[in-house]
Amino acid sequence: MAENKPLYILNGPNLNRLGRREPEIYGYYTLSDVEGWCREAAGDWPVVFRQTNSEERLIEDVHEAIDEAAGILINPAAFTFTSLALLDALKMFTGPIIEFHISNVHRREPLYHKSLVSTTATAVMAGLGATGYPHAVRALTLLVAEGRR
């Protein structure tokens, strides 16, 4: 079987502090826990797993994914609601994109209700908590297999 192109799992600002950041919202699991669950859920699929607090770096990671990835799972965190540059980068990706949020952003303050990323994402998952990431990974592999965008 030909080697699968990798799944890019990209995380935005402040998620490096997962487990210590507003645990009443984001829980006590760490991003390292999340990475392990994602790699396990991906099975034979190679995974690129990154986190950055820099909008520029996140966009560079999306550009890399445009050329290298089978699918993108992205938690853009606060850039979800603010970054037209990130939206423009994601629009260039021809594979499936799952937008993921640990919390149910629609149940939070209104400033978290209008996602720019959702206007190009194939699917959106929000509110499952950090343990939702592996579900999103499995969903992404199915979207890739189905040739969805």
Please state, in angstroms and as integers, the Cα–Cα distance from residue 49 to each residue in 2, 78, 104, following that order: 21, 18, 22
Q: Which stretch binds ligand DHK (CB under 6 A): 86-94, 101-109, 116-124, 137-145?
A: 101-109
From CA 108, how far away is CA 110, in angstroms rounded?
A: 6
- Beta carbon nearer to ligand DHK, 42 or 102: 102
Map residue 8 onto helix, strand or coil: strand
- Beta carbon nearer to ligand DHK, 39 or 108: 108
- Using CB under 6 A as the binding rule, whether residue 125 contacts ligand DHK is answered as no
Q: Which stretch binds ligand DHK (CB under 6 A): 29-37, 45-53, 95-103, 135-143?
A: 95-103
Structure token digits, residue 39: 């790699």
Choose which of 59, 65, 73, 77 interacts with ligand DHK (CB under 6 A): 77
Q: What is the DSSP letter of 43?
A: T
6: left (phi over 0), alpha (psi -120 to 50) or beta: beta
26 catalytically annotated: yes
29 catalytically annotated: no
Q: 71-75 and 47-51 as β-strands: parallel, antiparallel, unpaired?
A: unpaired
- Beta carbon nearer to ligand DHK, 14 or 118: 14
What are the residues binding ligand DHK (CB under 6 A)?
14, 75, 77-78, 101-103, 105, 112
